[in-house]
Chain A
């Protein structure tokens, strides 16, 4: 198993752990952190392929994904704050009545 295969396996495990964490945990903020973990798993695989191909465009794409992650969290956290102000709980089950 080469170094790249090892890192791709780690990337797959991080993504899977993040996905399962979003499903099984019961706290909105913790679920957001597991979403970030999934994104980190995907970024690791992107970094491995950038390294293998020696492509600068891959590094630029990673920078853009970092910016998207920052923008995502800048919007997601105020929405969670808004929800908690209204419902006084971080349990997503309490917001099952929301219908858009």
Chain B
């Protein structure tokens, strides 16, 4: 067993431990912290594989943007309703049966297959510099598409907030009319 395999196993265990903890933690903030642990373990796995640029994106975009946004939402919505007191839906037993079945089938399929072995690849192929040059040289259209997608998402999020504001204004106008 090489040192790379040991590190990959440790980070894999970390990722799985975070995912399992997400099931049992009650407060959404703790669930978010467990998910952040899983994401950081995955970033370490990417770095161990030599995919440095993906490891950087994982930390910057997922942990730095997506999860921070999620934590803001959790802080805004500290609702202590039935979703807080009762963690699981009535689908718990069926869901766990499905979990065991799916994990069994997927891992059995992997164990039956031939071991996958990586070919010899140039070492710097996934370094930030090489990736950046290839990205802006060959894949610049996808970069532009990603920028357009983010712009559309921003407009959609603004539209959702505007719908809420208009709904509140309408409700306030109705209340005023009723009071008169």
Q: Which residues of A contact B (CB under 8 A)?
A: 1-10, 12-14, 16-21, 23-30, 32-34, 36-37, 40, 43-44, 47-48, 50-52, 54, 56-57, 59-60, 62-64, 66-75, 77-82, 84-86, 88-91, 93
> Chain A residues near B22 (CB, 8 Å)?
17, 21, 30, 33-34, 37
Pairwise interchain contact A25-B116, C-beta atoms closer than 8 A: no
Q: Which residues of B contact A (CB under 8 A)?
A: 4-5, 8-9, 12, 15-16, 19-20, 22-23, 28, 31-32, 35, 38-39, 42, 45-46, 49-51, 53-54, 57-58, 61-62, 65-66, 69-70, 73-74, 76-77, 79, 81-84, 86-89, 91-92, 94-96, 98-99, 102-103, 106-107, 110-111, 113, 115-119, 121-122, 125-126, 130-131, 134-135, 138-139, 142, 145-146, 149-150, 152-154, 156-157, 160-161, 163-164, 167
Pairwise interchain contact B35-A93, C-beta atoms closer than 8 A: no
Question: Contacts A20-B96, A26-B88, A29-B74 given: A9-B28 contact, CB under 8 Å?
Answer: no
Pairwise interchain contact A27-B157, C-beta atoms closer than 8 A: no
Pairwise interchain contact B31-A30, C-beta atoms closer than 8 A: yes
> Chain A residues near B119 (CB, 8 Å)?
52, 54
B150, chain A: closest CB distance, angstroms: 6
Instruction: State the CA gap A85–B132 with chains docked (Å).
Output: 43
Pairwise interchain contact B102-A24, C-beta atoms closer than 8 A: no
Question: Contacts A4-B118, A24-B91 given: A80-B107 contact, CB under 8 Å?
Answer: no
Chain A, residue nearest B115 (CB): A2
Q: Which of A20, A52, A57 contacts B139 (CB 8 A)?
A: A57
Q: Which of A25, A67, A74 contacts B154 (CB 8 A)?
A: A74
> Chain B residues near A66 (CB, 8 Å)?
57-58, 61-62
Q: How many A-B residue pairs have CB under 8 A?
A: 245
> Chain A residues near B125 (CB, 8 Å)?
54, 56
Pairwise interchain contact B106-A12, C-beta atoms closer than 8 A: yes
Chain A contact residues: helix, strand, loop or mixed = helix
> Chain B residues near A23 (CB, 8 Å)?
89, 91, 94-95, 98
Question: Contacts A27-B83, A75-B160, A78-B160 given: A59-B35 contact, CB under 8 Å?
Answer: no
Q: Which of B77, B121, B149, B163 contacts A80 (CB 8 A)?
A: B77
Chain A, residue nearest B163 (CB): A82
Besides A5-B115, A57-B139, 8 other CB < 8 A contacts? Answer: A6-B9, A20-B99, A33-B22, A33-B28, A40-B38, A74-B153, A74-B154, A74-B156
> Chain A residues near B154 (CB, 8 Å)?
74
B91, chain A: closest CB distance, angstroms: 5
B27, chain A: closest CB distance, angstroms: 9
